Chain A
Amino acid sequence: MLLPAISILLLLAGSVASAAVPYAKLRQVAERVSCQCGCSYTVGSCNMLNCHFRDPILQKISTGLEEGTPEDEVLEAVYEEYGGETRVEPRNEGFGRIGWIAPFASLAFGLAVVIWVMRRWRARTTARSRASEVPDDVMERYRAQIEEDLEELE
């Protein structure tokens, strides 16, 4: 049942970043690649033991950066080799662009609807208050009183 300590320690051995590329840089780039080992993190954050997916990608990124290849090109090569699933964000083109636009479009649409609803409500209220025969100054006085009362109630 009990394994010798040294063999367990070897089992616990994890990957270590290449010494030629600073770890912080490697991690920063690897944060833009989604790990597919099942951890649901990025390659930069995956802490799975001897991860079969993370380690070769880290190596590839490290080699690419060591050779002086620009960061984006290194990443494109990774996406090309390991598939679209490794992207952590949609590409800003084609269907991917919809991915970026949709959340903000929904917010804009929602705000537009609210403004439209408010204007409609406001128009009805204005029409009703025009039809009323109560003079504006009297109405203002009542409104001020109501506001004060509401403040009290709250």
Chain B
Amino acid sequence: MENLGYLAVLLAFLLSVYATVAALGGKLRRNPFLEVSAQRAVLAAWLMTTTASAILLHAILTDNFSFNYVASRSNADLDLLYKVAAWWGGQEGSLLFWSWIAATYSFVAVYTGRSRHRNMISYVVVTMAGTQAFFLGLVAFEANPFQVIMSGPQVTSVPDGSGLNPLLQHPMMAIHPPMLYLGYVGFTVPFAFALASLITRQPGERWIHTTRVWTMVTWLFQSIGILLGARWAYVVLGWGGYWGWDPVENASLLPWITGTAFLHSVMMQEKKGMMKVWNIVLISATFFLCIFGTMMTRGGLVSSVHAFAQSEIGIYFVWFLAGGIGITAYMIISRKEYLRSEAELDSVISRESGFLFNNVVLLASCFAVLWGTLFPVITEYATGDKITVGAPFFNKVNVPIGLFLLFLTGVGPLVAWRRTSTESLRRNFQWPALAAAVCAAALFAGGMRHFYALVCFSLCAFVATTVLMEYYRGGRVIQRKQASSLAAAVVELTRRNTRRYGGYLVHMAIVLMFIGFAGAAFNVVHQEEMAVGDSIAVGPFDFKLQNVSEMDNPNYFRAVAAVDVSKNGKFLETLMPERRFYHASNQPTSRVDVRHRLLEDVYVVYAGQSNDGANPVIQVYLNPLVNWIWIGALVLVLGTLVALVPSKTGRRRIGRASAPQLKEEPVAASGD
């Protein structure tokens, strides 16, 4: 089996290399047979990668401990779900998983886009298959998951594996990495289309539409991945927080930020033919930041709790990045004329300038995160003394930038395209500004003195009012015309322009998340060694340790504390935090128990045992408003899905526009 698996990886690698070369050769030599052959090689590479993945997964599920990877990442008593998660739980398996997703994306992108983008699909194949070949090369020659345990010339096996990292044994860990990978790898598709359109000097806007849709899909996956990671950190790691500014967390945030900037600025290109160079730079930056993030996780560039798979492969990523950035830069410079803007700014007070400011602030935020993440490396290089920067630095730097961005989120919809008159500006701003002022005054009068929290809540009121006004005003117009209810009118409004109103839903999601972030300013934490029957008071809550029970199963031993929670003398519920000890890996972990409410979470951790081992140490966190982050996450997913649905009006417009555009494509071929 191991030979078959490795053979499949080797073949997939060779097929990807062939697809890259054949697609490029076919395009340059105008040989359609080579181009079609390259597309079929993409399909064959996907089949080979799928075969290799299926063999590894089979080995994991059947406890084949002669595979080195299986023995080090799984064990016989592991739950089925976590056995599947072991596929991406280590370096070799996760690189194969990455390659499989890349191969699947290539296959889907090529076979759905080959007739629609006939004259540029070969260049799409070059980028996608080239990237895929890079990762498959790593699997084949540097991180082979099919290595077996040898005893002399004989293949041998161990009785049981050392198990999956206990922290990864959580249902969310079965979804979080695949979602992130779908995001990371998925950004290859819009980048490939953008680069191909640049090379072939595509006319029209159809390729922008394709690029934007793919970006939105992958942005959605990336968002879900990041938020699931935050949720996992919150419920598993037991430190009461959800974002630690860990280098690998930051690595996932960087392409998300540039992807967000692209989704905004691409509108300027679609509507006015502006910002073409900038958009190409943004989508390229997003792709390269994905590769850079992978390098950080695996190349040992920075130390991180997530860097589960450090090795010597970092140098290959450096070469890949250098080559990719060089080629892209050359393409942008050599196609400068093609990227010339078709329109210019009419007024400083316009939506166009709003997008420009939004992009700058997003990029500044991206730079701040990148700067902080690389600061230890930079200081070590510059001064010889390594300075790590942690959450306090990132919070101090990013909170003001984030608030500025939140403000711009509200301002954007209030200004019109091209120019806005002072009167219209005053009319549009009055209600949101009033909402913000009332919110600030009420909170201040209620005793809130935390500056950033006050600003954040006020801006949330400002942006939320803006979004609601947009729905209300548009809904009222339809309501009057159709004599329907306001709710029905709002639904109709959204269906007519899903992209715009889906986007507003995403803005609302951001508001909800910022409410949750601001709540962190009022977190309370208390830790105490408690004997059975002891009580502690934290805020308005009382916590009483009722009992501690112990259980054992083949996978882990656990001690569970039953903690009664009451408020003002009234019993609320019993929380059951646990401390686990995993037999296979000899590692302990905490399992928190949380009472989730909209106003605050009561978060209880079995933090450890007193030094004499007699009593548990119980840690209590009161986390106000944190659930709004998860609610915001759901709204964000909903909003993005709405934006992905074609609009009623959009469908009509595309239908009208498609005929002349189809005629344009063959002409573009001469520009190759």
Q: Which residues of A contact B (CB under 8 A)?
A: 1-3, 5-6, 8-17, 23-24, 27, 31-32, 34, 38-42, 45, 47, 49, 83-91, 94-96, 99-100, 102-104, 106-107, 110-111, 113-114, 117-118, 121-122, 124-125, 143, 146-147, 150-151, 154
Given contacts A9-B559, A103-B364, A110-B364, contact A41 B388 (CB under 8 A): no
Roughly how many angstroms separate A102 CA and B365 CA in the complex, as a whole number?
Answer: 11
B590 surroundings in chain A (CB, below 8 A): 47
Given contacts A38-B303, A125-B345, contact A146 B239 (CB under 8 A): no
Roughly how many angstroms separate A89 CA and B398 CA in the complex, as a whole number?
Answer: 13
Which of B371, B390, B401 lies in contact with A89, CB distance below 8 A? B390
B383 surroundings in chain A (CB, below 8 A): 94-95
- Interface mask (B516-548 → A, CB under 8 Å = 1, otherwise 0): 000000000111110000000000000000000
Roughly how many angstroms separate A119 CA and B609 CA in the complex, as a whole number?
Answer: 65
Residue in chain B with minimal CB distance to A90: B387
Say whether B397 contacts A1, CB under 8 Å. Answer: no
- Is B403 part of the binding interface, using a Cβ–Cβ cutoff of 8 Å? no
Roughly how many angstroms separate A14 CA and B344 CA in the complex, as a whole number?
Answer: 64
Given contacts A87-B388, A95-B379, contact A14 B609 (CB under 8 A): yes
Say whether A90 contacts B375, CB under 8 Å. Answer: yes
Pairs across A and B, CB under 8 Å, 21 listed: A1-B554, A2-B552, A2-B583, A6-B613, A9-B613, A14-B607, A32-B392, A42-B390, A45-B244, A83-B386, A94-B383, A96-B379, A99-B387, A99-B389, A106-B363, A107-B401, A113-B360, A118-B353, A122-B348, A125-B345, A147-B418
Say whether A16 contacts B303, CB under 8 Å. Answer: no
A42 surroundings in chain B (CB, below 8 A): 390-391
Residue in chain B with minimal CB distance to A46: B239
Roughly how many angstroms separate A39 CA and B345 CA in the complex, as a whole number?
Answer: 50
A16 surroundings in chain B (CB, below 8 A): 529, 608, 610-611, 617
Which of B246, B305, B588 lies in contact with A12, CB distance below 8 A? B588
- Is B497 part of the binding interface, using a Cβ–Cβ cutoff of 8 Å? yes
- Interface mask (B371-405 → A, CB under 8 Å = 1, otherwise 0): 11001100100110111111111001100010000
A31 surroundings in chain B (CB, below 8 A): 392
B386 surroundings in chain A (CB, below 8 A): 83-85
B401 surroundings in chain A (CB, below 8 A): 103, 107
- Is B368 part of the binding interface, using a Cβ–Cβ cutoff of 8 Å? yes
Which of B247, B390, B419, B613 lies in contact with A88, CB distance below 8 A? B390
B348 surroundings in chain A (CB, below 8 A): 118, 122
Task: Tell me the smallest distance from the CB of B475 to a CB of chain A, in Å.
Answer: 14
B497 surroundings in chain A (CB, below 8 A): 154
Roughly how many angstroms separate A42 CA and B393 CA in the complex, as a whole number?
Answer: 12
- Is B111 part of the binding interface, using a Cβ–Cβ cutoff of 8 Å? no
- Is B500 part of the binding interface, using a Cβ–Cβ cutoff of 8 Å? yes
- Is B205 part of the binding interface, using a Cβ–Cβ cutoff of 8 Å? no
Task: Tell me the smallest distance from the CB of A148 to a CB of chain B, in Å.
Answer: 10
Say whether B613 contacts A40, CB under 8 Å. Answer: no
- Interface mask (B584-627 → A, CB under 8 Å = 1, otherwise 0): 00001010000000000000010111111100010000000000
B486 surroundings in chain A (CB, below 8 A): none
Residue in chain B with minimal CB distance to A48: B588
A113 surroundings in chain B (CB, below 8 A): 360
B608 surroundings in chain A (CB, below 8 A): 12-16, 47, 49
Besides A15-B611, A122-B347, A147-B418, 5 new A-B residue pairs in contact (Cβ under 8 A), listed by A number: A27-B527, A45-B244, A88-B389, A121-B345, A122-B345
Given contacts A27-B525, A49-B608, contact A5 B388 (CB under 8 A): no
Say whether A5 contacts B550, CB under 8 Å. Answer: yes
Say whether A11 contacts B529, CB under 8 Å. Answer: no
- Is B241 part of the binding interface, using a Cβ–Cβ cutoff of 8 Å? yes
A125 surroundings in chain B (CB, below 8 A): 344-346
Say whether B344 contacts A41, CB under 8 Å. Answer: no
Say whether A99 contacts B303, CB under 8 Å. Answer: no
Which of A8, A13, A49, A99 lies in contact with B611, CB distance below 8 A? A13
- Is B36 part of the binding interface, using a Cβ–Cβ cutoff of 8 Å? no
Roughly how many angstroms separate A8 CA and B525 CA in the complex, as a whole number?
Answer: 27
- Is B581 part of the binding interface, using a Cβ–Cβ cutoff of 8 Å? yes
A14 surroundings in chain B (CB, below 8 A): 607-609, 617
Say whether A107 contacts B557, CB under 8 Å. Answer: no
B293 surroundings in chain A (CB, below 8 A): none
Roughly how many angstroms separate A1 CA and B555 CA in the complex, as a whole number?
Answer: 10
Task: Tell me the smallest distance from the CB of A15 to a CB of chain B, in Å.
Answer: 7
Residue picked from B241, B344, B612, most chain A C-beta under 10 Å = B344
A118 surroundings in chain B (CB, below 8 A): 345, 348, 353, 356
Given contacts A16-B610, A110-B360, contact A88 B529 (CB under 8 A): no
- Interface mask (B285-322 → A, CB under 8 Å = 1, otherwise 0): 00000000000000000011100000000000000000
Say whether A90 contacts B360, CB under 8 Å. Answer: no
Say whether B375 contacts A99, CB under 8 Å. Answer: yes
Residue picked from A40, A85, A88, A114, most chain B C-beta under 10 Å = A40
Which of B347, B392, B397, B559 lies in contact with A103, CB distance below 8 A? B397
Roughly how many angstroms separate A39 CA and B383 CA in the complex, as a whole number?
Answer: 25
A94 surroundings in chain B (CB, below 8 A): 383
Residue in chain A with minimal CB distance to B247: A40
Roughly how many angstroms separate A41 CA and B348 CA in the complex, as a whole number?
Answer: 44
Say whether B360 contacts A40, CB under 8 Å. Answer: no
Residue in chain A with minimal CB distance to B361: A107
- Interface mask (B497-526 → A, CB under 8 Å = 1, otherwise 0): 100100000000000000000000000011
Which of B525, B554, B609 lies in contact with A13, CB distance below 8 A? B609
Residue in chain A with minimal CB distance to B608: A14
B387 surroundings in chain A (CB, below 8 A): 84-85, 87, 90-91, 96, 99
Say whether A17 contacts B345, CB under 8 Å. Answer: no
Task: Tell me the smallest distance from the CB of A127 to a CB of chain B, in Å.
Answer: 11
B416 surroundings in chain A (CB, below 8 A): 147, 150-151
- Is B429 part of the binding interface, using a Cβ–Cβ cutoff of 8 Å? no
Q: List 8 tightest A-B contacts by C-beta distance, closest first.
A: A14-B608, A88-B390, A103-B368, A107-B364, A110-B360, A121-B345, A13-B609, A89-B393
Task: Tell me the smallest distance from the CB of A86 to a CB of chain B, in Å.
Answer: 8
Say whether B525 contacts A24, CB under 8 Å. Answer: yes
Say whether A12 contacts B581, CB under 8 Å. Answer: yes
Which of B393, B418, B607 lies in contact with A47, CB distance below 8 A? B607
Residue picked from A8, A31, A95, most chain B C-beta under 10 Å = A8
Roughly how many angstroms separate A41 CA and B526 CA in the complex, as a whole number?
Answer: 18
Roughly how many angstroms separate A88 CA and B390 CA in the complex, as a whole number?
Answer: 5
- Interface mask (B337-371 → A, CB under 8 Å = 1, otherwise 0): 00000001111100001001100110110011001
